Amino acid sequence: MTGMRITQRAVAQTALQGLNRNLAELGKLQEQLTSGKVVSKPSDSPTAVNRSMQIRKDQAAAVQHARNISDAQSWMETTDTALTSMVAQVRRVRDLTVQAANDGTLTEAGRTAIAAEVSALRDSLLGLANENVDGRPVFGGITSGTKAYRADGTWLGVGSADGTGVVPITRRISHDERVRIDVTGPEAFGPPGSDLFTVVGRIATDVVAGSSVQGDLTDLDAAIDRLLTAAATVGARAARVDNAAQVNSDRRLSLDKQLANVEDVDLPKTIMQLQFQQTGYQAALQATAQVVQPSLVDFLR
Protein backbone atom coordinates (compact mmCIF):
# COMPACT_ATOMS: atom_id res chain seq x y z
CA MET A 1 0.00 0.00 0.00
CA THR A 2 1.40 3.32 -1.10
CA GLY A 3 1.24 6.11 1.49
CA MET A 4 0.15 9.61 0.60
CA ARG A 5 2.89 12.21 0.76
CA ILE A 6 1.88 15.34 2.61
CA THR A 7 4.02 18.30 1.71
CA GLN A 8 4.80 21.31 3.83
CA ARG A 9 2.82 23.46 1.40
CA ALA A 10 -0.31 21.31 1.88
CA VAL A 11 0.01 21.53 5.65
CA ALA A 12 0.33 25.33 5.46
CA GLN A 13 -2.61 25.70 3.09
CA THR A 14 -4.84 23.52 5.24
CA ALA A 15 -3.87 25.47 8.35
CA LEU A 16 -4.53 28.79 6.63
CA GLN A 17 -7.92 27.62 5.37
CA GLY A 18 -8.90 26.63 8.88
CA LEU A 19 -7.70 29.94 10.27
CA ASN A 20 -9.62 31.85 7.60
CA ARG A 21 -12.80 29.96 8.42
CA ASN A 22 -12.39 30.74 12.12
CA LEU A 23 -11.62 34.36 11.34
CA ALA A 24 -14.66 34.67 9.06
CA GLU A 25 -16.93 33.27 11.76
CA LEU A 26 -15.36 35.62 14.28
CA GLY A 27 -15.96 38.57 11.95
CA LYS A 28 -19.57 37.51 11.41
CA LEU A 29 -20.23 37.43 15.17
CA GLN A 30 -18.55 40.82 15.62
CA GLU A 31 -20.71 42.28 12.83
CA GLN A 32 -23.85 40.90 14.47
CA LEU A 33 -22.93 42.51 17.79
CA THR A 34 -22.11 45.82 16.09
CA SER A 35 -25.31 45.98 14.03
CA GLY A 36 -27.57 44.26 16.53
CA LYS A 37 -29.00 42.19 13.67
CA VAL A 38 -28.67 38.49 12.93
CA VAL A 39 -29.46 39.05 9.27
CA SER A 40 -27.64 41.78 7.36
CA LYS A 41 -27.81 40.37 3.84
CA PRO A 42 -29.97 37.75 2.05
CA SER A 43 -27.17 35.16 2.00
CA ASP A 44 -27.11 35.11 5.80
CA SER A 45 -30.49 33.37 5.88
CA PRO A 46 -32.86 33.42 2.85
CA THR A 47 -35.69 32.11 5.00
CA ALA A 48 -35.23 34.79 7.65
CA VAL A 49 -34.97 37.52 5.00
CA ASN A 50 -38.22 36.35 3.38
CA ARG A 51 -39.95 36.30 6.76
CA SER A 52 -38.55 39.73 7.60
CA MET A 53 -39.84 41.20 4.33
CA GLN A 54 -43.32 39.79 4.98
CA ILE A 55 -43.39 41.22 8.52
CA ARG A 56 -42.27 44.63 7.26
CA LYS A 57 -45.02 44.55 4.64
CA ASP A 58 -47.56 43.80 7.38
CA GLN A 59 -46.08 46.62 9.47
CA ALA A 60 -46.47 49.11 6.63
CA ALA A 61 -50.12 48.06 6.21
CA ALA A 62 -50.74 48.40 9.96
CA VAL A 63 -49.20 51.88 9.97
CA GLN A 64 -51.46 52.95 7.09
CA HIS A 65 -54.49 51.50 8.86
CA ALA A 66 -53.49 53.52 11.96
CA ARG A 67 -53.46 56.69 9.84
CA ASN A 68 -56.88 55.81 8.43
CA ILE A 69 -58.21 55.18 11.93
CA SER A 70 -56.87 58.51 13.15
CA ASP A 71 -58.51 60.29 10.21
CA ALA A 72 -61.80 58.48 10.84
CA GLN A 73 -61.73 59.38 14.53
CA SER A 74 -61.08 63.05 13.76
CA TRP A 75 -63.89 63.11 11.19
CA MET A 76 -66.43 61.43 13.46
CA GLU A 77 -65.49 63.47 16.53
CA THR A 78 -66.14 66.65 14.54
CA THR A 79 -69.41 65.23 13.24
CA ASP A 80 -70.57 64.13 16.69
CA THR A 81 -69.70 67.50 18.25
CA ALA A 82 -71.60 69.35 15.52
CA LEU A 83 -74.67 67.12 15.85
CA THR A 84 -74.70 67.43 19.64
CA SER A 85 -74.58 71.23 19.41
CA MET A 86 -77.29 71.24 16.74
CA VAL A 87 -79.61 69.09 18.85
CA ALA A 88 -79.27 71.58 21.72
CA GLN A 89 -79.98 74.54 19.42
CA VAL A 90 -82.95 72.87 17.72
CA ARG A 91 -84.45 72.16 21.14
CA ARG A 92 -84.10 75.86 21.90
CA VAL A 93 -85.93 76.58 18.64
CA ARG A 94 -88.66 74.20 19.77
CA ASP A 95 -88.99 75.95 23.14
CA LEU A 96 -89.36 79.31 21.37
CA THR A 97 -91.89 77.85 18.95
CA VAL A 98 -93.97 76.39 21.79
CA GLN A 99 -93.82 79.76 23.55
CA ALA A 100 -95.08 81.52 20.44
CA ALA A 101 -97.84 78.97 19.95
CA ASN A 102 -99.18 79.00 23.54
CA ASP A 103 -98.89 82.67 24.53
CA GLY A 104 -102.01 84.35 23.20
CA THR A 105 -101.03 87.66 24.75
CA LEU A 106 -97.70 87.79 22.95
CA THR A 107 -97.15 91.26 21.50
CA GLU A 108 -95.84 92.03 18.07
CA ALA A 109 -92.52 93.04 19.60
CA GLY A 110 -92.42 89.73 21.44
CA ARG A 111 -93.09 87.77 18.24
CA THR A 112 -90.42 89.79 16.45
CA ALA A 113 -87.91 89.01 19.19
CA ILE A 114 -88.69 85.30 19.04
CA ALA A 115 -88.47 85.30 15.24
CA ALA A 116 -85.13 87.12 15.39
CA GLU A 117 -83.69 84.54 17.80
CA VAL A 118 -85.02 81.68 15.68
CA SER A 119 -83.44 83.25 12.57
CA ALA A 120 -80.13 83.63 14.41
CA LEU A 121 -80.33 79.99 15.47
CA ARG A 122 -80.93 79.00 11.84
CA ASP A 123 -77.74 80.81 10.83
CA SER A 124 -75.87 79.06 13.64
CA LEU A 125 -77.25 75.70 12.52
CA LEU A 126 -76.05 76.35 8.97
CA GLY A 127 -72.62 77.20 10.36
CA LEU A 128 -72.48 73.90 12.23
CA ALA A 129 -73.69 72.07 9.12
CA ASN A 130 -70.64 73.45 7.32
CA GLU A 131 -68.14 72.13 9.88
CA ASN A 132 -65.12 70.67 8.11
CA VAL A 133 -62.00 68.57 8.64
CA ASP A 134 -58.93 69.65 6.68
CA GLY A 135 -61.13 71.76 4.42
CA ARG A 136 -63.65 68.99 3.71
CA PRO A 137 -67.23 69.50 4.98
CA VAL A 138 -68.23 66.59 7.21
CA PHE A 139 -71.85 66.74 6.02
CA GLY A 140 -70.99 67.40 2.38
CA GLY A 141 -70.31 63.84 1.26
CA ILE A 142 -68.16 63.63 -1.87
CA THR A 143 -67.65 67.26 -2.81
CA SER A 144 -64.77 69.43 -3.96
CA GLY A 145 -66.01 72.48 -2.06
CA THR A 146 -65.41 73.58 1.50
CA LYS A 147 -69.10 73.92 2.42
CA ALA A 148 -71.97 71.47 2.61
CA TYR A 149 -74.75 74.09 2.45
CA ARG A 150 -75.32 77.47 0.88
CA ALA A 151 -76.83 80.29 2.90
CA ASP A 152 -80.26 79.48 1.43
CA GLY A 153 -80.05 75.91 2.75
CA THR A 154 -79.19 74.20 -0.55
CA TRP A 155 -77.04 71.09 -0.15
CA LEU A 156 -73.84 71.15 -2.24
CA GLY A 157 -72.84 67.50 -2.10
CA VAL A 158 -72.66 65.08 -5.02
CA GLY A 159 -75.86 63.09 -5.54
CA SER A 160 -79.54 63.78 -5.18
CA ALA A 161 -80.54 66.28 -2.54
CA ASP A 162 -82.99 63.74 -1.13
CA GLY A 163 -80.05 61.53 -0.19
CA THR A 164 -80.31 58.98 -3.00
CA GLY A 165 -77.26 58.32 -5.13
CA VAL A 166 -74.93 59.69 -2.46
CA VAL A 167 -71.50 58.06 -2.35
CA PRO A 168 -70.45 57.36 1.25
CA ILE A 169 -66.96 58.23 2.52
CA THR A 170 -65.18 55.19 3.96
CA ARG A 171 -61.82 54.33 5.48
CA ARG A 172 -60.07 50.96 5.58
CA ILE A 173 -59.30 50.29 9.24
CA SER A 174 -57.94 46.75 8.89
CA HIS A 175 -57.03 44.26 6.20
CA ASP A 176 -60.64 43.07 5.85
CA GLU A 177 -62.70 45.94 7.27
CA ARG A 178 -63.94 49.27 5.99
CA VAL A 179 -66.10 51.69 7.94
CA ARG A 180 -68.20 54.60 6.78
CA ILE A 181 -67.14 57.82 8.51
CA ASP A 182 -69.59 60.42 7.19
CA VAL A 183 -73.24 61.36 7.49
CA THR A 184 -74.51 63.44 4.60
CA GLY A 185 -76.62 66.54 5.03
CA PRO A 186 -79.83 64.98 3.64
CA GLU A 187 -79.46 62.04 6.02
CA ALA A 188 -78.90 64.22 9.10
CA PHE A 189 -81.09 67.24 8.29
CA GLY A 190 -83.71 65.91 5.90
CA PRO A 191 -84.56 66.24 2.19
CA PRO A 192 -85.35 69.57 0.48
CA GLY A 193 -88.63 71.12 1.54
CA SER A 194 -88.69 69.40 4.91
CA ASP A 195 -85.06 69.86 5.85
CA LEU A 196 -84.09 71.40 9.19
CA PHE A 197 -83.12 74.79 7.78
CA THR A 198 -86.33 75.19 5.79
CA VAL A 199 -88.42 74.26 8.85
CA VAL A 200 -86.59 76.69 11.15
CA GLY A 201 -86.80 79.47 8.57
CA ARG A 202 -90.53 78.83 8.16
CA ILE A 203 -91.01 78.99 11.92
CA ALA A 204 -89.43 82.46 12.04
CA THR A 205 -91.72 83.63 9.23
CA ASP A 206 -94.87 82.16 10.80
CA VAL A 207 -94.09 83.61 14.22
CA VAL A 208 -93.72 87.11 12.80
CA ALA A 209 -96.93 86.71 10.81
CA GLY A 210 -98.83 85.35 13.80
CA SER A 211 -99.68 82.18 11.87
CA SER A 212 -100.18 78.77 13.47
CA VAL A 213 -96.94 76.92 14.15
CA GLN A 214 -98.46 73.57 15.12
CA GLY A 215 -97.49 72.03 11.80
CA ASP A 216 -94.01 73.50 12.18
CA LEU A 217 -93.67 71.82 15.57
CA THR A 218 -94.45 68.44 14.00
CA ASP A 219 -91.82 68.98 11.32
CA LEU A 220 -89.34 70.19 13.93
CA ASP A 221 -89.87 67.08 16.04
CA ALA A 222 -89.15 64.96 12.96
CA ALA A 223 -85.96 66.97 12.39
CA ILE A 224 -84.88 66.38 15.99
CA ASP A 225 -85.46 62.63 15.54
CA ARG A 226 -83.28 62.65 12.42
CA LEU A 227 -80.50 64.46 14.27
CA LEU A 228 -80.64 62.01 17.17
CA THR A 229 -80.58 59.06 14.76
CA ALA A 230 -77.59 60.51 12.94
CA ALA A 231 -75.77 61.10 16.26
CA ALA A 232 -76.47 57.52 17.37
CA THR A 233 -75.20 56.18 14.04
CA VAL A 234 -71.99 58.18 14.30
CA GLY A 235 -71.53 57.04 17.91
CA ALA A 236 -71.86 53.38 16.93
CA ARG A 237 -69.32 53.78 14.12
CA ALA A 238 -66.96 55.67 16.43
CA ALA A 239 -67.06 52.81 18.94
CA ARG A 240 -66.21 50.40 16.13
CA VAL A 241 -63.27 52.56 15.05
CA ASP A 242 -62.02 52.90 18.64
CA ASN A 243 -62.03 49.13 18.96
CA ALA A 244 -60.14 48.85 15.67
CA ALA A 245 -57.59 51.34 17.00
CA GLN A 246 -56.87 49.10 20.00
CA VAL A 247 -56.61 46.01 17.78
CA ASN A 248 -54.28 47.89 15.44
CA SER A 249 -52.07 49.00 18.33
CA ASP A 250 -51.82 45.43 19.62
CA ARG A 251 -51.03 44.13 16.15
CA ARG A 252 -48.23 46.66 15.62
CA LEU A 253 -46.65 45.64 18.93
CA SER A 254 -46.93 41.99 17.95
CA LEU A 255 -45.32 42.63 14.56
CA ASP A 256 -42.47 44.56 16.22
CA LYS A 257 -41.85 41.57 18.48
CA GLN A 258 -41.97 39.13 15.55
CA LEU A 259 -39.47 41.22 13.58
CA ALA A 260 -37.16 41.42 16.56
CA ASN A 261 -37.30 37.64 16.94
CA VAL A 262 -36.30 37.23 13.30
CA GLU A 263 -33.67 39.97 12.95
CA ASP A 264 -32.28 40.97 16.33
CA VAL A 265 -29.40 39.18 17.98
CA ASP A 266 -29.69 37.29 21.24
CA LEU A 267 -27.10 39.45 22.99
CA PRO A 268 -25.99 37.09 25.81
CA LYS A 269 -25.85 34.11 23.46
CA THR A 270 -23.93 36.01 20.77
CA ILE A 271 -21.40 37.39 23.28
CA MET A 272 -20.79 33.87 24.60
CA GLN A 273 -20.37 32.53 21.05
CA LEU A 274 -17.94 35.35 20.27
CA GLN A 275 -15.83 34.50 23.33
CA PHE A 276 -15.78 30.83 22.37
CA GLN A 277 -14.84 31.74 18.81
CA GLN A 278 -12.04 34.06 19.99
CA THR A 279 -10.68 31.33 22.26
CA GLY A 280 -10.84 28.81 19.42
CA TYR A 281 -9.13 31.20 17.01
CA GLN A 282 -6.31 31.94 19.44
CA ALA A 283 -5.82 28.20 20.04
CA ALA A 284 -5.77 27.59 16.29
CA LEU A 285 -3.13 30.29 15.85
CA GLN A 286 -0.94 28.74 18.51
CA ALA A 287 -1.34 25.22 17.10
CA THR A 288 -0.60 26.43 13.59
CA ALA A 289 2.50 28.25 14.79
CA GLN A 290 3.79 25.00 16.29
CA VAL A 291 3.08 22.96 13.15
CA VAL A 292 4.20 25.42 10.49
CA GLN A 293 7.78 26.04 11.60
CA PRO A 294 9.62 26.32 8.29
CA SER A 295 10.35 29.75 6.87
CA LEU A 296 9.42 31.19 3.52
CA VAL A 297 12.71 29.99 2.15
CA ASP A 298 11.68 26.43 2.95
CA PHE A 299 8.58 26.82 0.78
CA LEU A 300 10.68 28.01 -2.14
CA ARG A 301 13.09 25.03 -2.05
Whether 32 maps to a domain, the answer reads no
**Treating both helix axes as pointing N-terminal to C-terminal, what angle do 267-291 and 8-35 enclose, rounded to 10 degrees?**
160
Residue type (1 letter), 249: S
Whether 201 maps to a domain, the answer reads yes
pTM (global) more than 0.85: no
Residues 80 and 171 in one domain: yes
Whether 34 maps to a domain, the answer reads no
Residues 71 and 165 in one domain: yes
Mean pLDDT, residues 224-251 taken together = 95
Q: Distance between CA atoms of 216 and 99, rounded to whole angstroms? A: 13
Residues 188 and 274 in one domain: no
Q: In this predicted model, what pLDDT tens digit does every residue of 72-121 receive, in sequence order?
A: 999 999 999 999 999 999 999 999 999 888 766 678 888 899 999 999 99
Whether 139 maps to a domain, the answer reads yes
- Domain of 295 in residue numbering reads as 267-301
Per-residue confidence (pLDDT) for residue 217, from 0 to 100: 92
Confidence of residue 1 (pLDDT cuts 50, 70, 90): very low
Q: What is the mean pLDDT of the chain?
A: 81
Residues 71 and 124 in one domain: yes
Q: Distance between CA atoms of 199 and 102, rounded to whole angstroms? A: 19
Residues 189 and 231 in one domain: yes
**Which has the higher per-residue pLDDT, 131 or 12?**
131
Q: How many CB atoms lie within 10 A of CB 17?
A: 10
With beta carbons less than 8 A apart as the criterion, state whether 231 and 149 touch.
no
Structural domains counted in the chain: 2
- Helix or strand holding residue 179 (H, E): strand 177-180
CATH code of 241's domain: 1.20.1330.10
Residues 82 and 160 in one domain: yes
- Helix or strand holding residue 172 (H, E): strand 170-174
Whether 16 maps to a domain, the answer reads no
Q: In this predicted model, what pLDDT tens digit does every residue of 180-201 receive, in sequence order?
A: 999 999 999 998 888 999 999 9
Quote the Cα angle for 86-181-127, to 5°.
30
- Helix or strand holding residue 252 (H, E): helix 214-263
Confidence of residue 212 (pLDDT cuts 50, 70, 90): confident
Q: Distance between CA atoms of 196 and 219, rounded to whole angstroms? A: 8
